[in-house]
Amino acid sequence: MSHDIYPDHPPPSKEVLREWCVSNGVFAESGLEICSMGSEVGERGEGAEGVENGWKVVAKRDLKAGELLCSIPKSALLSTRSSSLPPLPMTQPPLVPDQHSSLLHLALCVLHEFRLEAESRWYGYLQSLPREPLGLGLPVFWGEQLHLDGEGKAEQEGEGEDGDGDGREGRKWLVGTEAGRDLKRKEKDGMGMSALTSFYTTHSSHLPATPSHPSPSPLSSFLHAYSLVCTRAFLIDLYHTIALVPFCDLFNHTSTPHTSLLSDDYVCYLCGSLKTCSHDVINNDGVSWRLSHLGDWERRRVEHEVDTVDMRVERRVGNGEEVWNSYGEGLGDGRLLVEWGFIGEEFVGDGLIWDLEDLGLGIAKEEGEEEWEDMLDQLGEGWNERNRKMDNDTNPDVDDNDSDDSDDFDDDHETLLCRQSRSNPHLLNLDQSGRISINLFAVFWRHNSRSTSSSPKAESEHGNLFAALEIEDKTPSPSAEITEIIESIEELEETWHEIQARSLLIEDLTEANDLGHESDDTATHERSTDSKEATMTVRPQIVDVAKRIRKLLQDRLRGMYKSDLTQEQLFNLRDTLRSQDKYQRVAMTLSINERGLIISAMGKWDEWLAEYGASVESA
Ligand SMILES: C[S@@+](CC[C@H](N)C(=O)[O-])C[C@H]1O[C@@H](n2cnc3c(N)ncnc32)[C@H](O)[C@@H]1O
């Protein structure tokens, strides 16, 4: 599948971009250099073996915190407000300006500017953007063989860019992974391939003919423009909403960035003015309501300075180091791959996630979601309360409000369970340290107690069928339930801690034996047997829940592509991929990493169940 963006134009040029920046008032610190990723020389598309490398920003000298990296006047931003594409006609139903429709609209504007070629105000910038691979390798396009012209008519079918099936195979490896979940969610939320196709089919006729593009552009051109917008646009302010920001979009992502984008967002939403404008309502002090939250000094600044988007050094950058931005906090590889087409293997974010309906408990998404969320909110409160108490007991002098972050259990990565995610307290996840969230434990625990506490009453004397089916509700009150859950979690962790301590003791004794310190085998045996006798007992319900969790992990693993292969076999398989199988390589890496996390978590639950798993049968 090929697009019609800049056919027969020279490759992207840093020099042309630099000249465009200068003539559009863009300031870029002279101590920054745009380099090719993976090699220090060459323009786009000139990497080794013709592989597109992408660009990055590198510091040519030490950069101190506070230094200005770049400053772009808002007049240079490319947004739906600034583009020369005429406003979209009212659609039926109207295009609600949510984030996705804003991306689609901006993509149409970008395609229009591409079609203007050198006539566009942004040509010097747009020519610098990647032109390959089509759709920038975002998984939503992997393996797509869709060919439509600008009017939505099928073009000639043929082998696309990844006609050898790299994309199709790559998609298979995403099944069951976080990226696979994200792709499904996007499709469901109307952000998949079919929604993109239908948007362009509806709106392509709105693109004016240009001297270089008298006919409509193929769908592939729109998809490419859309990918550029998705991977490069920033949220700016109330007027532009999202926009492409020349130069700022050259910084790559890491979870420990040096810089971030700064923009005053409280502009007039009608004309974009930051300084007081004719649309403003003035308060009794003669100040626009819009700017009334600012102090005197700040107000003077906005009234007199050019409105810009800036990036400053927030963490020192050494000479020769790449300067990193962050595309969002806690972005895991699944999300990075789906939204930006790469993985960072930094193992940050919330790990693997389940929805309520994925838990095999027969809970539909809409069914009682609020009730479950209420329970999780109460659990969160109960958990924080417990932490405060624990901290007070161990450290009576510490301020109560500081206690949340300093809890030993929550920060101990060797535990079976982890606290609620900071990004979403309702999340049901397996964290990056292989710990199941207390939420998942609580959902299984509650489901278990509901199904065991509701037992049909014995048939009445008169054989009344309705009376026989009446359910006796022994459900505990919500607060009693949360207390029970927290006590169960503590019980689970204490027993896990005991197992860990015992294996450490055995390891120590074996090591000591190997070194000949305590050569008496009988003594070793006696001590390890002693410690075994210290085993605690647990409530059967905890065992039930542990078994559910173990099964949940196993099911997730089994839902992955080629789930019967061992990690070693997968590594070997990945090693045999051809250099051009880049989608398969990245998808396999993601899948292997997620499998590793599940396997290590399963190992812990197996160890615990080996000790306590039988007690439920005897209960
Ligand atoms: C905003 S652009 C950054 C500049 C881009 N590298 C370029 O060549 O113009 C975002 C894209 O850069 C690439 N990218 C960003 N961070 C990356 C990273 N840590 N590793 C690999 N690629 C990255 C991805 O292709 C992503 O879609």
- How far is 443 from 549, CA to CA, in rounded Å? 10
Ligand 1 pocket test target in 33, 255, 327, 340 with most atoms within 8 Å of CB: 340
Q: For residue 231, which atom of ligand 1 is closest to its CA? A: 27
Q: Is 347 a member of any domain? A: no
Ligand 1, atom 22, lies closest to the CA of 342
Backbone torsions φ then ψ of 91, nearest 5 degrees: -105, 160
- Structure-token match 């490896």, residue found: 173
- How far is 483 from 442, CA to CA, in rounded Å? 11
Does residue 220 have a pLDDT over 70? yes
- CATH code where residue 34 lies: 3.90.1410.10
* 140/208 same-domain check: yes
Domain end: 340, 361, 392, which one?
340
Q: Is 414 a member of any domain? A: yes
Does residue 204 have a pLDDT over 70? yes
Per-residue confidence (pLDDT) for residue 164, from 0 to 100: 61
Q: What is the pLDDT of residues 392-434, one digit of tens each?
A: 877 776 655 554 544 555 667 789 999 999 989 999 999 999 9
382 CB under 6 A from ligand 1?
no
Ligand 1, atom 13, lies closest to the CA of 252
What H or E segment, with its residue span, contains residue 443?
Answer: helix 438-453
Q: At CA 151, angle to CA 145 and CA 157, rounded to 5?
A: 25
Does residue 520 have a pLDDT over 60? no
| Cβ-based neighbour number of residue 589 at 10 Å | 18
Q: For residue 54, which atom of ligand 1 is closest to its CA? A: 8
- E runs forming strands in 269-384: 308-313, 324-325, 352-354
Strand partners, 325: 253
The percent of residues in the chain predicted with pLDDT above 90, rounded, is 69
* 254/362 same-domain check: no
- Strands, sheet with 436-437, edge to edge from the N-terminal-most edge strand: 352-354, 428-430, 436-437, 417-418
* 333/363 same-domain check: no
Does residue 344 have a pLDDT over 70? yes
* 360/321 same-domain check: no
Which among 467, 468, 473 has a CA at the least distance from the CA of 454?
473
| More confident of the two residues 513 and 209 | 209
- How far is 567 from 591, CA to CA, in rounded Å? 10
> For residue 324, what are the CA distances in angstroms to 58, 67, 204, 245, 403?
9, 14, 36, 16, 33
**Cβ atoms of residues 495 and 417 within 8 Å:** no
Does residue 43 have a pLDDT over 60? no
* 314/412 same-domain check: no
Decide: helix, strand or coil at residue 71: strand
* 330/377 same-domain check: no
Average pLDDT score, the chain: 86
> For residue 274, what are the CA distances in angstroms to 74, 228, 241, 269, 290?
10, 28, 14, 10, 9
Q: Is 518 a member of any domain? A: yes
* 391/517 same-domain check: yes
253 CB under 6 A from ligand 1?
yes
- How far is 575 from 347, CA to CA, in rounded Å? 22
Which among 157, 150, 146 has a CA at the least distance from the CA of 217?
150
ipTM above threshold 0.90: yes
Domain end: 340, 360, 395, which one?
340
Domain total in the chain: 2
* 48 CA distance to ligand 1 middle (Å): 18
Q: Is 373 a member of any domain? A: yes
* 500/551 same-domain check: yes
* 252 CA distance to ligand 1 middle (Å): 5
Question: Which DSSP string corresponds to 552-604?
Answer: HHHHHHHTSTTTTS-HHHHHHHHHTS-TT-HHHHHHHHHHHHHHHHHHHHHHH
* 360/233 same-domain check: no
* 423/325 same-domain check: no
235: its two tokens: 């949220």
Which among 577, 601, 599 has a CA at the least distance from the CA of 587?
577
Q: What is the pLDDT of residues 107-161, one digit of tens each?
A: 999 999 999 999 999 999 999 999 988 888 999 999 886 544 445 454 444 444 4
Ligand 1, atom 26, lies closest to the CA of 340
Q: Whole domain around residue 406: which residue ranges?
A: 352-618
Question: How much is the average pLDDT of 373-390?
Answer: 91
Ligand 1, atom 14, lies closest to the CA of 252
17, HSE (Cβ side, Cα atoms, 13 Å): 23
**Cβ atoms of residues 313 and 259 within 8 Å:** yes
Ligand 1, atom 12, lies closest to the CA of 252
Q: What is the pLDDT of residues 234-268, one digit of tens each?
A: 999 999 999 999 999 999 999 999 999 999 999 99
**Cβ atoms of residues 206 and 214 within 8 Å:** no
- E runs forming strands in 209-281: 234-237, 241-244, 252-253, 259-263
Q: What is the pLDDT of residues 438-476, one digit of tens each?
A: 999 999 999 988 877 655 444 444 444 444 445 455 667
Q: What is the pLDDT of residues 561-600, one digit of tens each?
A: 999 999 999 999 999 999 999 999 999 999 999 999 999 9
Strand partners, 244: 78
Q: Is 300 a member of any domain? A: no
* 334/434 same-domain check: no
- How far is 602 from 607, CA to CA, in rounded Å? 8
Give 216's DSSP letter.
Answer: P
**Cβ atoms of residues 135 and 339 within 8 Å:** no
**Cβ atoms of residues 136 and 586 within 8 Å:** no
Q: Which residues contact 542 (CB under 8 A, 6 or more apart)?
A: 445, 488, 491, 492, 612
Per-residue confidence (pLDDT) for residue 398, from 0 to 100: 61
- Structure-token match 């013709």, residue found: 50
β-strand pairing of 417-418 with 68-73: unpaired
- Structure-token match 């089919």, residue found: 201
Per-residue confidence (pLDDT) for residue 231, from 0 to 100: 97
245: left (phi over 0), alpha (psi -120 to 50) or beta: beta
Question: How much is the average pLDDT of 527-535?
Answer: 52
Per-residue confidence (pLDDT) for residue 49, from 0 to 100: 45
Q: Which residues contact 299 (CB under 8 A, 6 or more apart)?
A: 287, 291
55 CB under 6 A from ligand 1?
yes
In this prediction, residue 23 has a pLDDT band, given cuts at 50, 70 and 90, of very high
Per-residue confidence (pLDDT) for residue 14, from 0 to 100: 96
- How far is 515 from 528, CA to CA, in rounded Å? 18
Q: Is 286 a member of any domain? A: no
Q: Is 274 a member of any domain? A: no
* 513/457 same-domain check: yes
Q: How far is CA 441 from the centre of its chain?
A: 23
Does residue 329 have a pLDDT over 50? yes
**Rg of the chain on CA atoms, in Å:** 30
Per-residue confidence (pLDDT) for residue 38, from 0 to 100: 77
Which among 527, 505, 524, 504 has a CA at the least distance from the CA of 516?
524
Domain end: 318, 340, 362, which one?
340
- How far is 203 from 206, CA to CA, in rounded Å? 5
Q: For residue 253, which atom of ligand 1 is closest to its CA? A: 16
Per-residue confidence (pLDDT) for residue 514, from 0 to 100: 72
The least confident of 9-18, 466-475, 513-522 is: 466-475
Q: For residue 53, which atom of ligand 1 is closest to its CA? A: 8
- How far is 232 from 129, CA to CA, in rounded Å? 10
Q: Is 409 a member of any domain? A: yes
- How far is 615 from 618, CA to CA, in rounded Å? 5
